[in-house]
Structure 1
Amino acid sequence: MPGKIYLFFLYILPFFSLKGLENAKSLSFDPENFVQEVVFDGKEASTLPISEWRLKNGMKVILKQTNDEENEISVRLVALGGYGSVEPEDRASAELAASVAMESGIGEWCPDKLAALLYDQSIELNIKIEPFVRSIDASFPPESLEIFFTLVKKIFQQSRCTPEAFNQVLKSKKDELTRRGREVDSDRLLKVIAVHEQHALNPLNFTDLKKARVSQSERFFRAAFSNPADFVCIIVGKVNPEKIKKLCSDSFSALNVQKVDQKFILPHYKKAPKVRMTKIHHLPHSQESLVYLSLPLHLCLDPTRLEHLELACQMIETRLRNHIKTYSSESRGMDVRYELPLYPSLEYPWITVQFHVDDKQINSTLDLALQQIKTICREGFSLDEVTAASQLKQKRAKLWECSHDYWIILLSNHYLWKWDSKKIVGRFQMPQVIDPKEIHFTLCHSLLMDEYTPLYLED
Structure 2
Amino acid sequence: MKHISFLFTLTLILILGCTPKTATTIEAPQAPTEEVVHTSDEPKSMPAEETRTELGGAVAKKMEKAAQTPTDPMMQSVPLDPRVITGKLDNGLTYYIQKNEKPEERAEIRLAVRAGSINEDDDQKGLAHFVEHMAFNGTMHFEKSELIDYLQSVGTRFGADLNAYTSFDETVYMLQVRTDSQAIFDKGMLILEDWANAVTFEDEEIDKERGVVLSELRSGLSAQERMRNQYLPTLLHGSKYADRLPIGTKEILSGAPYDALKRFYRDWYRPDLMSVVVVGDVDVEEVEKDIKERFGQIANPDDEREREKYGFPDHEQTLVSITKDKEANFTTAQVMYKHPHKPVKDLKDYRTSLVRNTYNRMLNNRLNELRQAADPPFLYGYSGYGRFVGNLDTYTAYVTSGEGEVMKGLASVLTENKRVLEHGFTASELDRTRIEMISEAETTAKEEDKTQSGTLAMQYVYNFLNENPVPSPTQRFQLAQALLPTISLEEVNALAKSWITDGENRVIIVTGPDKEDVPLPAEEDILDLLKEVDMKSVEPYEDEVANVPLLGEDPDAGKVVDTKTLDDLAVTEWVLSNGVQVILKPSDFQNDEIRFNAFSPGGHSIYPDEDYRSASLASAILNQSGIADFDQIQLQKMMAGKQLNVSPYISELEEGMSGFSTIKDLETMFQLIYMYFTDPRKDPEAYQSIISRQKQILQNYLVDPRNYYREKVSEIKYGDHKRRGVPTAEELDEASLDKIMEVYNDRFADASDFSFVFVGNFTLDSIRPLVEKYIGSLPNIEREEDWKDVGAHVAEGKHIERFSYGAAPKTQVEMSWSGEMDWDVEADRRKHNMLMEVLRNKLRESMREDKGGVYGVGVRGNVSKIPKEGQSVSLSFNADPDRVDELIQTALDDIQKIKNGGVSEEDLQKVREILKQSRIKNLKENRYWANALKSLYSYDLDPNMILLENYLPVIEQISPEDIVDMAKRTFNPENYIEVVMMPAADANGK
Relative to the length of structure 1, the TM-score reads: 0.79
Deviates more, 1:435-444 or 1:409-418: 435-444
Match status 1:347 vs 2:874: no
Partner of 1:338: 861
The Cα of 1:148 is off from its aligned counterpart by: 0.9
Aligned mate of 2:566, from 15, 39, 43: 39
Over 3 Å counting, the alpha-carbon distance change for 1:107 and 1:34 in structure 2 is: farther
User: Counterparts of 1:170 and 1:379 in 2: how far apart (Å)?
Assistant: 54
Match status 1:242 vs 2:765: yes
Higher relative contact order (CA 8 A, sep 6+): 1
User: Counterparts of 1:280 and 1:175 in 2: how far apart (Å)?
Assistant: 27
Deviations 1:329-378 (A, max 9, x none): 343434433147x8964634432234565554332122111111123224
The Cα of 1:196 is off from its aligned counterpart by: 4.7
Partner of 1:217: 740
Partner of 1:377: 899
User: Counterparts of 1:415 and 1:84 in 2: how far apart (Å)?
Assistant: 20
Any conservation in 1 of the 2:583–2:757 contact (CA below 8 Å)?
yes
User: Counterparts of 1:269 and 1:289 in 2: how far apart (Å)?
Assistant: 28
Match status 1:62 vs 2:583: yes
User: Counterparts of 2:804 and 2:910 in 1: how far apart (Å)?
Assistant: 32
User: Counterparts of 2:800 and 2:946 in 1: how far apart (Å)?
Assistant: 33
Letter in 1 for 2:585: K
Partner of 1:252: 775
The Cα of 1:398 is off from its aligned counterpart by: 1.8
Residue pairs, 1:66-81, within 5 angstroms:
66-69=587-590, 71-81=592-602
Any conservation in 1 of the 2:645–2:661 contact (CA below 8 Å)?
yes
User: Counterparts of 2:703 and 2:728 in 1: how far apart (Å)?
Assistant: 11
Q: Structure 2 unaligned segments of length 5 or more: list them.
A: 1-155, 159-555, 984-990
Over 3 Å counting, the alpha-carbon distance change for 1:335 and 1:425 in structure 2 is: farther
Any conservation in 1 of the 2:602–2:785 contact (CA below 8 Å)?
no
User: Counterparts of 2:850 and 2:660 in 1: how far apart (Å)?
Assistant: 48
The Cα of 1:175 is off from its aligned counterpart by: 1.9
Partner of 1:457: 981
User: Counterparts of 2:716 and 2:949 in 1: how far apart (Å)?
Assistant: 34
Letter in 1 for 2:605: G
Letter in 1 for 2:909: T
User: Counterparts of 1:326 and 1:179 in 2: how far apart (Å)?
Assistant: 38
Any conservation in 2 of the 1:77–1:135 contact (CA below 8 Å)?
yes
Over 3 Å counting, the alpha-carbon distance change for 1:266 and 1:35 in structure 2 is: farther
User: Counterparts of 2:748 and 2:837 in 1: how far apart (Å)?
Assistant: 39
User: Counterparts of 2:804 and 2:591 in 1: how far apart (Å)?
Assistant: 38
Deviations 1:44-83 (A, max 9, x none): xxxxx43332333332222233323453222221233322
Any conservation in 2 of the 1:131–1:200 contact (CA below 8 Å)?
no
Any conservation in 1 of the 2:631–2:683 contact (CA below 8 Å)?
no
Letter in 2 for 1:405: R
Partner of 2:260: none
Any conservation in 1 of the 2:718–2:794 contact (CA below 8 Å)?
no
Over 3 Å counting, the alpha-carbon distance change for 1:229 and 1:454 in structure 2 is: same
Residue pairs, 1:67-216, within 5 angstroms:
67-69=588-590, 71-181=592-702, 183=704, 184=707, 186-187=709-710, 190=713, 193-196=716-719, 198-216=721-739
User: Counterparts of 2:902 and 2:792 in 1: how far apart (Å)?
Assistant: 28
Deviates more, 1:234-243 or 1:176-185: 176-185
Aligned mate of 2:829, from 279, 297, 306: 306
Partner of 1:46: none
User: Counterparts of 2:923 and 2:650 in 1: how far apart (Å)?
Assistant: 28
User: Counterparts of 1:455 and 1:356 in 2: how far apart (Å)?
Assistant: 12
Partner of 2:106: none
Any conservation in 1 of the 2:601–2:785 contact (CA below 8 Å)?
no
Letter in 1 for 2:891: A
Over 3 Å counting, the alpha-carbon distance change for 1:345 and 1:187 in structure 2 is: farther
Letter in 1 for 2:754: F
Any conservation in 2 of the 1:281–1:289 contact (CA below 8 Å)?
no
Any conservation in 2 of the 1:398–1:428 contact (CA below 8 Å)?
no
The Cα of 1:116 is off from its aligned counterpart by: 1.8
Aligned length: 426
Deviations 1:288-341 (A, max 9, x none): 76754333344353433221111110111222233446751343434433147x
Partner of 1:396: 918
Partner of 1:296: 818
Any conservation in 2 of the 1:131–1:201 contact (CA below 8 Å)?
no
Q: Secondary structure at the match of 2:624?
A: helix
User: Counterparts of 2:865 and 2:713 in 1: how far apart (Å)?
Assistant: 13
User: Counterparts of 2:157 and 2:579 in 1: how far apart (Å)?
Assistant: 34
Deviates more, 1:134-143 or 1:310-319: 134-143
Over 3 Å counting, the alpha-carbon distance change for 1:249 and 1:406 in structure 2 is: same
Deviates more, 1:421-430 or 1:109-118: 421-430
Letter in 1 for 2:568: D
The Cα of 1:158 is off from its aligned counterpart by: 1.4
User: Counterparts of 1:189 and 1:347 in 2: how far apart (Å)?
Assistant: 25
Any conservation in 1 of the 2:646–2:672 contact (CA below 8 Å)?
no
Over 3 Å counting, the alpha-carbon distance change for 1:281 and 1:222 in structure 2 is: farther
Q: Structure 1 unaligned segments of length 5 or more: list them.
A: 5-28, 43-48
Letter in 1 for 2:618: A
Partner of 1:274: 797
Any conservation in 2 of the 1:276–1:294 contact (CA below 8 Å)?
no
Any conservation in 1 of the 2:594–2:759 contact (CA below 8 Å)?
yes
User: Counterparts of 2:792 and 2:702 in 1: how far apart (Å)?
Assistant: 31
Sequence identity of aligned pairs in percent? 18
User: Counterparts of 2:599 and 2:801 in 1: how far apart (Å)?
Assistant: 33
User: Counterparts of 1:281 and 1:433 in 2: how far apart (Å)?
Assistant: 47
Any conservation in 2 of the 1:78–1:134 contact (CA below 8 Å)?
yes
Any conservation in 2 of the 1:277–1:293 contact (CA below 8 Å)?
no
Relative to the length of structure 2, the TM-score reads: 0.39
Over 3 Å counting, the alpha-carbon distance change for 1:261 and 1:32 in structure 2 is: closer
Q: Secondary structure at the match of 1:296?
A: strand
Any conservation in 2 of the 1:298–1:447 contact (CA below 8 Å)?
no
Over 3 Å counting, the alpha-carbon distance change for 1:228 and 1:357 in structure 2 is: same
Q: Secondary structure at the match of 1:256?
A: coil
The Cα of 1:151 is off from its aligned counterpart by: 1.0
Deviates more, 1:346-355 or 1:172-181: 346-355
User: Counterparts of 1:439 and 1:387 in 2: how far apart (Å)?
Assistant: 12
User: Counterparts of 1:202 and 1:283 in 2: how far apart (Å)?
Assistant: 20
Letter in 2 for 1:74: R
User: Counterparts of 2:674 and 2:784 in 1: how far apart (Å)?
Assistant: 21
Over the aligned positions, Cα root-mean-square deviation in angstroms equals 3.7
The Cα of 1:449 is off from its aligned counterpart by: 1.8
Over 3 Å counting, the alpha-carbon distance change for 1:308 and 1:57 in structure 2 is: farther
Deviations 1:202-224 (A, max 9, x none): 32222322221211111100111
User: Counterparts of 2:635 and 2:620 in 1: how far apart (Å)?
Assistant: 14
Any conservation in 2 of the 1:188–1:201 contact (CA below 8 Å)?
no
User: Counterparts of 1:77 and 1:3 in 2: how far apart (Å)?
Assistant: 31
Partner of 2:146: none
Over 3 Å counting, the alpha-carbon distance change for 1:395 and 1:262 in structure 2 is: closer
Any conservation in 2 of the 1:292–1:352 contact (CA below 8 Å)?
yes
Deviations 1:208-251 (A, max 9, x none): 22221211111100111122233222222222222222211111
Letter in 2 for 1:440: V
Partner of 1:11: none
